[in-house]
Each structure stands twice: as structure tokens, then as C-alpha cells.
Amino acid sequence: MDRQGILIIVSGFSGAGKGTIMKELTARCEQYALSVSATTRQPRPGEEEGREYFFRTREQFERMIADGELIEYACYVNNYYGTPRAWVEEQLEKGRDVILEIEIQGARKVKKQYPDAVLLFVMTKDIQTLMERLAERGTEAPEVIAERLRQAVAEAEGIEEYDYLIVNDDLNACVEQVHSIILSEHEKVIRNREKIARIRAELEELVKGE
Ligand code: 5GP
């Protein structure tokens, strides 16, 4: 195959807008495949089974873990979240760039298994904006928001483990930025070994024939 898909891991503070950026990116460009995770958290108003998440009971989720169906899973604010393996691998094989929108513990586990993955960290330009967005969303109780902010403190500790920082000020600019980062990643020499080997072989053939 000519083009191997890239695994893209996107993390960021709750409310930073990573979901919106990734939805917009996948809507604009067919090359992207957004992975749908499984979770034990309750659906928010407007969320649909199989679109935002596969909503599962704790028992069902623990069965998925036992059966090895997940690439990784983590516990976040008292709920399980995990990435189904089969779909992700199938899409990568097809050459699509697969986006995993996951928190930092999961990101670390995926990076161990897929060392070529590209890690993006999304944040707002300041904490004031983050607080406003979390409050505007209005889907979480104040104590859940407080817990998500505590998680943000822990996630901020790990930002250096990521490859790129995305500051979400203007949605359109952010989507463009992520798209161009991924396009550049495809051009890296280490991702083009086959192409390089082919050109070398053709050159050698040519010189031999002279
Ligand atoms: P939310 O409840 O806001 O949809 O998600 C809470 C956090 O869980 C977010 O940081 C989100 O990126 C993360 N998350 C969603 N799916 C997964 C997953 O499959 N694995 C891990 N480790 N984190 C996930």
C-alpha cells in the first residue's frame, strides 16, 4: 500500500473544544476517521448511541476489557472510557488517518503500542475562557465541572509528552492548523520508507542499463 494511515491522538482540557475541532475536521475531509469510544457515562442530551459513544454498562465494559476488545481504557471522573481496537486497525490499514479523542492516561498507553502516533494537545488561550465554555455547555453539574478542572490540573502536568500544542481561539484556524500538521506528518522521511526504497531501486536499474 502506498499510504499508511496515521494514528492521531487528541487530548486537552475538558471544554477546550477538541470534540468540535475534530468533528469539523472529519466533516471537511474524507481522509479522517474519528474513532468512537465506549463509555459507562450517561449520554448527554443530544448524544446518540454509536455516534458520540457506545454507551455501555459497567458489566458490558468489563467484558470488553476481558475479551481484549480495547486498545486502551481509562477511568475518568468515575466512568470508564475505552478505544475499540478492531475498527481503528481496519481504518489504518485502509490508509485513513484515525483520530482518537482520549485523555492523557489513554494517550500514554496508545503511544506505547503505536510509537508513530502523533499527539496533539488542545487548550484554550486562557483559563477564564475554559471556565466560560464549561459553564456555557451547561450539561454538567457544578461538582462534575469542579472534578473536570481538577483533572485539567493533572493533564497540564503531561503536556510535554505531546508533539503539538493547539490553542483553540478561532475554530476555523484550528481546523486548518491540525489539517496542515497531519499533511506535514505524512511527508516525513520515516513515513515514506517504501517510496524512497522504490526510487532508489529504479535509479539503480537506470544506472545499470546505461
Ligand atoms: P466526555 O465525558 O467529556 O465525553 O469525555 C471525558 C474525557 O474522556 C475526555 O478527555 C475524552 O477525551 C476522554 N475519552 C473519551 N473517549 C476515551 C477513550 O476511549 N479512552 C480514554 N482514555 N479517554 C477517552
Mean pLDDT, to the nearest integer, of 30-34?
Answer: 95
Mean pLDDT, to the nearest integer, of 141-151?
Answer: 86
Q: Partners of 74 in the beta sheet?
A: 81
Closest CA to 40 of 24, 14, 21, 61: 61
Q: What is the pLDDT of residue 139?
A: 78
CB contact at 8 A, 44 and 55: no
Mean pLDDT, to the nearest integer, of 165-186?
Answer: 96
Pocket test for ligand 1, best of 10, 47, 49, 101 (most atoms within 8 A of CB): 101
Q: What is the pTM of this model?
A: 0.91
Ligand 1 centre distance from Cα of residue 72 (Å): 11
Confidence of residue 14 (pLDDT cuts 50, 70, 90): confident
Please check the confidence at residue 158 and state whether its pLDDT lies above 80. yes
Please state, in angstroms and rounded to a whole number, the distance separating the CA atoms of residues 36 and 118: 18
Please check the confidence at residue 1 and state whether its pLDDT lies above 60. no
CB contact at 8 A, 191 and 128: no
Report residue 42 as a C-alpha cell. Answer: 450517561
Determine which residue's CA is closest to atom 2 belonging to ligand 1: 41
